[in-house]
Amino acid sequence: MPVLGFGVYQNYDARSSCLEAFKAGYRHVDSAQMYRNEAAVGEAVRESGLNRSDLFITTKCASRSHGYESTLKGVDESLSRFQFDYVDLFLIHDPLSGSDKRLATYKALQECKAAGKIRTVGVSNYNVKHLEEIRNAGYDMPAVNQIELHPFCQQKPIVEYCMKNSIVVQAYCPIIRGQMDHEVFTSIAAKHNRDPAKVLIRWSLQNGYVPLPKSATPSRIHSNAQVFDFELDADDMARIDALDQGKQGAISWNPVDAD
Ligand SMILES: NC(=O)c1ccc[n+]([C@@H]2O[C@H](COP(=O)([O-])OP(=O)(O)OC[C@H]3O[C@@H](n4cnc5c(N)ncnc54)[C@H](OP(=O)(O)O)[C@@H]3O)[C@@H](O)[C@H]2O)c1
């Protein structure tokens, strides 16, 4: 999977933003059924002229549509909206539907993978207990766990579990929804002659996460992708690491504590 993804939550013109993102070099787009822009992402893929096989496209099913039959139907509906033969990664968007439905949804996604409709199955907002539930049910572990993850909300127990179990950690809200006006970020940004968004994206990449910054602003779409020409040093990383506030630092729904 390309290590930098392009988030499209609350992007109401995802077609033109994705086309801009492809120009800027992104090859990975993070969509979801809930974002109501799968069709727009699919259009951008076709209009880009890029090979489908060079792109990595994710979607997700949220808890209100969990369950075995509804997930099978939902996968077909997503494919039809994208007008794709397959999606690269299909995530269970959140763990809020309860144990039985989570596992039924997971089973359906595994079957869609076997049928070639999904290349990879993953989860999102899963805590350690939700991941253990999959293991205890005897299924293959998910390839990915996508969680809120940035300097103020480092989700250490989940990240540690994922790293130990070779589950790729995707970082959502990697640039704290633009709330980066903090002395640590601005001073490190000034030191490297970069902006705070780039510093946060680098911090994520250097920790081995897959950040998914969102922007609907063409200049930011481009600048957020220009993160492979500098490196944070150990001192920068340590200063940012020290900002963790645990769950208090979350700025999104972060439903990792669902029963
Ligand atoms: N699985 C989940 O439950 C879940 C939850 C939330 C998000 N996600 C995924 O993760 C992606 C990223 O998360 P997010 O969209 O919530 O937050 P984010 O990427 O941390 O921040 C996006 C916000 O930052 C602004 N921004 C972008 N680049 C900037 C820059 N260089 N300088 C200053 N501000 C900048 C954007 O404004 P403009 O657009 O106006 O440029 C937007 O308001 C989502 O799009 C979605 O794909 C998943």
Residue 230, sorted as left (phi over 0), alpha (psi -120 to 50) or beta, turns out to be beta
Residue 93 annotated as binding site? yes
Residue 89, sorted as left (phi over 0), alpha (psi -120 to 50) or beta, turns out to be beta
Atom of ligand 1 nearest to the CA of 217: 41
**259, HSE (Cβ side, Cα atoms, 13 Å):** 2
Which positions are catalytic? 35
Give pLDDT tens digits for 11-49: 989 999 999 999 999 999 999 999 999 999 999 999 999
> What is the Å distance from ligand 1's center to 215 Cα?
6
Query: How many other CB atoms are there within 10 angstroms of residue 91's CB atom?
Result: 28
Query: Which amino acids bring their CB within 6 angstroms of ligand 1?
Result: 7-9, 30, 93, 124-125, 146, 172-178, 195, 197, 212-217, 220, 223-224, 252
Which pLDDT belongs to residue 140?
96
Query: How many other CB atoms are there within 10 angstroms of residue 177's CB atom?
Result: 14
Give pLDDT tens digits for 116-133: 999 999 999 999 999 999
Instruction: Report residue 221's pLDDT band, with 50, 70 and 90 as the boundaries.
Output: very high
> What is the Å distance from ligand 1's center to 64 Cα?
23
Mean pLDDT for 228-238 is 98
Tokens linked to 41:
């992402």
Tokens linked to 118:
């999904």
Closest CA to 212 of 146, 126, 165, 166: 146
Bridge partners (DSSP) listed for residue 120: 89
Residue 203, sorted as left (phi over 0), alpha (psi -120 to 50) or beta, turns out to be alpha
Instruction: Report residue 87's pLDDT band, with 50, 70 and 90 as the boundaries.
Output: very high
Which pLDDT belongs to residue 23?
98
Distance CA 235, CA 105 (A): 43
Q: Is the pTM of this model over 0.95?
A: yes
Instruction: Report residue 161's pLDDT band, with 50, 70 and 90 as the boundaries.
Output: very high
- Which strands make up the sheet holding 56-61, listed edge to edge? 6-7, 28-30, 56-61, 87-92, 118-124, 144-148, 168-172, 210-211
Q: What Rg, from alpha-carbon coordinates, does the chain have?
A: 18
